[in-house]
A and B are shown apart, each in its own frame.
Chain A
Amino acid sequence: MAQHQVNYTQDGGLPVALTSVDKVINWGRSNSLWAMTYGLACCGIEMMASGASRYDFDRFGTIFRASPRQSDLMIVAGTLTKKHAEFIKRLYDQMAEPRWVISMGSCANTGGMFNTYATVQGVDRIIPVDLYLPGCAPRPETLQYAVMMLQKKIRAEKAGRAQRPKRLV
Chain B
Amino acid sequence: MRKYVPKDDVQKKAYYTDRFWVAPQVAKSPVETDAVFAADLEAIKAKCEVLDAYIQVDQLVVLINPNDNFTVAQILKEECGYNQLSECSAIDWLAKQKQFEVFYQFLSMSKRKRMRVKCFIDKEQAVESLNPLYRSADWAEREMYDMFGVKVNNHPYMKRILMPDDWVGHPLLKTYPLQGDEAASWYEVDRIYGKEARDIIGPENRESAVVDRYDTERFGRLGHEVARGSEFDENQPVTPLAYQEEGGVFIVKKFQEDGAVTITDRKR
| A contacts, CB < 8 Å to B | 17, 19, 23, 27, 82-83, 85-86, 89, 110-111, 115-118, 120-122, 125-126, 132, 145, 148-149, 151-152, 155, 168-169
Contacts and interface: CB of A to CB of B under 8 A. Distances in A.
14 contacts: A17-B250, A85-B188, A85-B191, A85-B192, A86-B191, A115-B206, A115-B208, A117-B177, A121-B205, A126-B188, A152-B244, A168-B197, A169-B197, A169-B200
Interface of B: 163-164, 171, 176-181, 184-185, 187-189, 191-193, 197, 200-201, 204-206, 208, 220, 241-245, 249-250
Contacts of B244: 148, 152
A31 B245 CA distance: 15
Contacts of A89: 192
Given A19-B250, A117-B177, A110 B193 contact: no
Contacts, number: 75
Contacts of B181: 117
Main secondary structure of the interface of B (DSSP, over half): loop
A82 B187 contact: yes
B212 to A, nearest CB: 13
A112 B248 CA distance: 36
A85 B164 CA distance: 11
A116 B204 contact: no
Given A27-B249, A118-B163, A168-B200, A82 B184 contact: yes
Contacts of A19: 250
A115 B191 contact: no
Contacts of B243: 145, 148-149, 151-152
